[in-house]
Amino acid sequence: MRTQVVIVGAGPAGLTLAHLLHRQGIDCLVLEARAREHIETRVRAGVLEQPTVDLLDEIGLAGRLRVEGMTHHGIRLRFDHAMHRIDFADLTGAAITVYAQQELVKDLVAARLAGGQPILFDVDDVRLDGVDTDRPRVRFRHDGRERTVDCDVIAGCDGFHGISRASIPAGVLTVHERVYPFAWLGILARTRPSCDELVYARHPDGFALHSMRGPEVTRQYLQVPAGTDLADWPDERIWTGLRRRLGHGDGLDLEEGPIFDKSLAPMRSFVVEPMRYGRLFLLGDAAHIVPATGAKGLNLAVADARVLSYGLGHHYATGRWDELDRYTARCLRRVWQVQQFSWWMTAMLHRIDGTQPFDERLRAAELDRVVSSRAAATTLAENYVGLPFATGWVWRG
- Eight-class DSSP state of 294: G
Q: pLDDT tens digit string along 306-344?
A: 999 999 999 999 999 999 999 999 999 999 999 999 999
pLDDT for 253:
87
209 CB-contact burial (10 Å; exposed 0-12 / middle 13-18 / buried 19+)? buried
For the segment 86-116, what is each residue's pLDDT rounded down to a tens digit? 999 999 999 999 999 999 999 999 999 999 9
pLDDT tens column, 246-298: 998 777 889 999 999 999 999 999 999 999 999 999 999 999 999 999 999 99
Mean pLDDT of all residues in 211-223? 93
**Could you say which DSSP state residue 274 is in?**
-
Residue ranges in the chain assigned as alpha helix (H) = 12-23, 36-41, 50-58, 63-68, 88-92, 101-114, 163-166, 235-246, 297-318, 322-325, 327-349, 357-372, 374-385
Summarised one tens digit per residue, pLDDT across range 43-85 is 777 899 999 999 999 999 999 999 999 999 999 999 999 999 9
Domains (range + CATH), the chain: 5-73+93-177+268-354 (3.50.50.60), 180-266 (3.30.9.10)
The whole-number average pLDDT for the span 348-357 is 90
The rounded percent of the chain whose pLDDT value lies above 70 is 98
> What does pTM read for this prediction?
0.94
267 vs 351: CA distance, rounded Å: 13
